[in-house]
Amino acid sequence: MSTVYYISSRVKNGVGLLNKLVRLMKEIEIDWIKKNSLICVKVHFGEDGNTAFVSPLYVRKVVDRIKQEGGIPYIGDTNTLYSGRRKMGVTHLELALEHGFSYPVVNAPLVILDGIKSNSRVTVPVNLKHFQDVSIAGEVKNSDGMIVVSHFKGHLGVGMGGAIKNLSMGLGTRKQKQLMHSDVKPEINHQKCIKCRKCVNICPVECISLDEGVLEIDLSTCIGCAECIVTCPTGALKILWNETPENMAEKLSETAYGAVKLLDGRYFYINFLINITPNCDCLGASDNSIVEDIGVLASFDPVAIDAASLDMVNQAKRTQNSVLSPEGKDVFKDIHSHTNPARQITYGEEIGLGSKNYKLVEMGY
Ligand code: SF4
Ligand code: SF4
């Protein structure tokens, strides 16, 4: 059984969530934060147009705690699989600054963990059902430990996203993201193709050809790295999102397992259960919250913290004026009926990522 700490978002004796977080971080001893240790604070900078990502004001408090212990913090995220400003390091950083993650606010530098062009990677053997090994952003291995700050909310593909999703989609390379999303390779829309050859030139295994004016992909040798998809200027190459949601959830847990293994488990997790939106912060719009704000959870176990988060969301009072219907008990299943939101948690326990049994400790402030 793992311990999950809880602070309420309600103001008590004049103390709000920001200062409660400071107290919580002070009370919990994280023994791998030492003098001169490099500590990554993993966040999600938020897609362009999204407003639900965890505020840099909270991230600052985590950074300050690391500095108090003599550690050297930096704030990290990885590039996306899909097109947009977060698909490459430079524009990703510009967007992060636009979203308030500037040095004066967060008190630490920003690092794109898989590099400017997403080619910094490290392979971690896991020997599990879906993956023999997983591909993790290269700069993760240079951390002495990581604090994973996650916004807990719904997700189109797997029902919900929290610590496990931040460890997996959030730390996986573009190739790993593609493998988690789909076993099937890119699909060509020939009508949109302007025959610019950009995909032909970037494919690392040379499986795209443009002979006699016809673009073809040899799917038997495609490794699903998605380089061609993000390079195509016209959107002629698309991902086929036809992996089953159950398999996708299991792949998330396996990738998270590899990320944790890479740092020998030196991770701490903070889930924000506020502004709980129906979809993830990768979307360019944030819909109304589906349940009332709850607070912040913290734990050394990614499975336990997500299990506790899911239980608390299901028990929370539903808001008015959201996509969620007032009936039913499984909040994320109600919204994303094709998914099994708890599968990341149950499978995570099966493979040894953590324990779904938790003891909730409510902090008295
Ligand atoms: S996904 Fe990667 S390997 Fe497959 S065709 Fe595109 S660039 Fe080539
Ligand atoms: S990058 Fe896109 S537009 Fe250019 S050749 Fe490839 S599919 Fe066609």
193 CB within 6 A, ligand 2:
yes
Return the minimum-mean-pLDDT range out of 25-34, 95-104, 292-301, 318-327. 318-327
Give the closest residue (by CA) to ligand 1 atom 6.
228
Nearest atom, ligand 2, residue 188 CA: 7
Residues 138 and 214 in one domain: no
Residues 275 and 335 in one domain: yes
Q: What pLDDT is stored for residue 227 in this prediction? A: 73
Q: What is the mean pLDDT of residues 245-258?
A: 93
In the predicted structure, residue 58 carries a pLDDT above the cut 90: yes
260 CB within 6 A, ligand 1:
no
Range of the domain at 255: 2-180+244-362
Q: Cα(226)–Cα(118) distance, rounded to whole angstroms?
A: 11
In the predicted structure, residue 184 carries a pLDDT above the cut 60: no
- Structurally, the chain folds into a number of domains equal to 2
Q: Which of 187, 198, 212 to mutate to test the pocket of ligand 2 (most atoms within 8 A of CB)?
A: 198
Residues 164 and 54 in one domain: yes
313 CB within 6 A, ligand 2:
no
Q: CA-CA-CA-CA torsion for 136, 137, 138, 140, nearest 10 degrees?
A: -90
In the predicted structure, residue 166 carries a pLDDT above the cut 90: yes
In the predicted structure, residue 10 carries a pLDDT above the cut 60: yes
In the predicted structure, residue 180 carries a pLDDT above the cut 90: no
Give the closest residue (by CA) to ligand 1 atom 5.
222
In the predicted structure, residue 199 carries a pLDDT above the cut 80: yes
214 CB within 6 A, ligand 2:
no
Name which residue leads in pLDDT, 214 or 106. 106
Residues 118 and 154 in one domain: yes
Residue at a domain's end among 195, 217, 238: 238
In the predicted structure, residue 280 carries a pLDDT above the cut 90: no
Q: What is the CATH number of the domain that holds 222?
A: 3.30.70.20
Residue at a domain's end among 197, 212, 238: 238
Per-residue pLDDT band for 239 (boundaries 50, 70, 90) equals low
Give the closest residue (by CA) to ligand 1 atom 2.
225
Per-residue pLDDT band for 224 (boundaries 50, 70, 90) equals low
Q: Cα(162)–Cα(109) distance, rounded to whole angstroms?
A: 24
Q: What pLDDT is stored for residue 242 in this prediction? A: 58
217 CB within 6 A, ligand 1:
yes
pLDDT in tens, 69-108: 999 999 999 998 877 899 899 999 999 999 999 999 999 9
Per-residue pLDDT band for 212 (boundaries 50, 70, 90) equals confident
Return the minimum-mean-pLDDT range out of 21-35, 56-70, 224-238, 253-267. 224-238
Name which residue leads in pLDDT, 335 or 60. 60
Q: What is the CATH number of the domain that holds 261?
A: 3.40.50.11440
Task: Compute the distance from residue 232 Cα to the ligand 2 centre, in Å.
Answer: 5
Q: What pLDDT is stored for residue 246 in this prediction? A: 85
Q: Cα(34)–Cα(36) distance, rounded to whole angstroms?
A: 6
Q: Which residues contact 123 (CB under 8 A, 6 or more apart)?
A: 133, 134, 135, 136
High-pLDDT (> 70) share of the chain, %: 96
Q: Which two tokens stand for residue 266?
A: 């030196």
Q: Cα(86)–Cα(47) distance, rounded to whole angstroms?
A: 7
225 CB within 6 A, ligand 1:
yes
95 CB within 6 A, ligand 1:
no
Return the minimum-mean-pLDDT range out of 122-126, 210-214, 281-285, 342-346. 281-285
High-pLDDT (> 90) share of the chain, %: 70
Q: Cα(231)–Cα(198) distance, rounded to whole angstroms?
A: 7
3-state SS class at 2? strand
In the predicted structure, residue 113 carries a pLDDT above the cut 70: yes
203 CB within 6 A, ligand 2:
no
Residues 225 and 259 in one domain: no
Residues 56 and 176 in one domain: yes
Count Cα neighbours of 204 within 13 Å in the Cβ-side half-sphere: 8
Residues 139 and 221 in one domain: no
In the predicted structure, residue 243 carries a pLDDT above the cut 70: no
Give the closest residue (by CA) to ligand 2 atom 8.
193
Q: Are 233 and 83 a contacting pair, CB within 8 Å?
A: no
234 CB within 6 A, ligand 2:
yes
Identity of the residue numbered 172: G
Residues 93 and 38 in one domain: yes
Token pair 């002979």 is found at 211
Give the closest residue (by CA) to ligand 1 atom 3.
222
Q: Which residues contact 29 (CB under 8 A, 6 or more apart)?
A: none
184 CB within 6 A, ligand 1:
no
Return the minimum-mean-pLDDT range out of 91-105, 109-123, 210-224. 210-224
Residues 223 and 315 in one domain: no
Q: What is the mean pLDDT of residues 166-176?
A: 94
Q: What pLDDT is stored for residue 241 in this prediction? A: 59
Residues 298 and 330 in one domain: yes
In the predicted structure, residue 182 carries a pLDDT above the cut 80: no
Q: What pLDDT is stored for residue 226 in this prediction? A: 66
Q: What pLDDT is stored for residue 284 in this prediction? A: 79
Q: Which of 180, 208, 238 to mutate to test the pocket of ligand 1 (most atoms within 8 A of CB)?
A: 208
Q: Which of 203, 210, 216, 219 to mutate to test the pocket of ligand 1 (most atoms within 8 A of CB)?
A: 203
Per-residue pLDDT band for 183 (boundaries 50, 70, 90) equals low
**Could you please report the per-residue DSSP string of 273-304?**
ESS--SS-TTSSS-PPPSB---EEEEES-HHH
Task: Compute the distance from residue 209 Cα to the ligand 2 centre, in Å.
Answer: 10
Per-residue pLDDT band for 158 (boundaries 50, 70, 90) equals confident
Residues 31 and 163 in one domain: yes
181 CB within 6 A, ligand 1:
no
